[in-house]
Amino acid sequence: MQEKRLLERLRAIELNPSWRGMTTPESATPSVLNHLAKILNTRQGSVPIAPDFGIPDFTGLLSGADQNAWAEVEEAIAEVITKYEPRLIKVQVRHKLMDDTAFVVAFKLSAAIRVEERESPVVFEAVLNADGRIEVME
């Protein structure tokens, strides 16, 4: 597997025909972050070619916000990341309590990036912003 997605590799070659790319897990991180943001900001059912791409609508599930509901959300997010971001393995998602802000929803994403049989552990944070978009960061 490459550290960049296919279209990213084609753009890089177009900009620099001699580019052949680096193939380390660390060099894949920006591409993985970008792709995770796309996955997490897409609602399931909005991509005709892959109806299960993205995350389900959790608003009804989280209206009670009990611990079982958070476990279901964590599992759903981990499953879609595992399926649609193959460079990440051993994906774990945990709801993260934000003591200083009562209205912020955040998750800790732990995984390993695998590129050409090499692995490197990573931890990302996904935060739901006030505008409804999820920001993913290291």
106 SS3 class: strand
The DSSP string of 41-102 is TSBTTS-TT-TT-SB---TTGGGS--HHHHHHHHHHHHHHHHHH-TTEEEEEEEEE--TT-T
pLDDT of residue 19: 59
**Closest-CA residue to 123 (of 97, 90, 100, 99):** 90
Q: Checking DSSP bridges between strand 118-128 and strand 88-96, what pairing results, if any?
A: unpaired
Residue 35, classed as helix, strand or coil, is helix
Predicted confidence at residue 1, as pLDDT, reads 43
> How far is it, in rounded angstroms, from Cα 114 to Cα 1?
8
pLDDT at 124: 96
What pLDDT was estimated at residue 116? 80
Mean pLDDT by 10 residues, the chain (138 residues): 67 69 76 93 94 85 67 92 94 84 83 89 91 89
Q: What is the CATH number of domain 22-137?
A: 3.10.450.40
State pTM to two decimals.
Answer: 0.80
Domain coordinates in residue numbering, the chain: 22-137
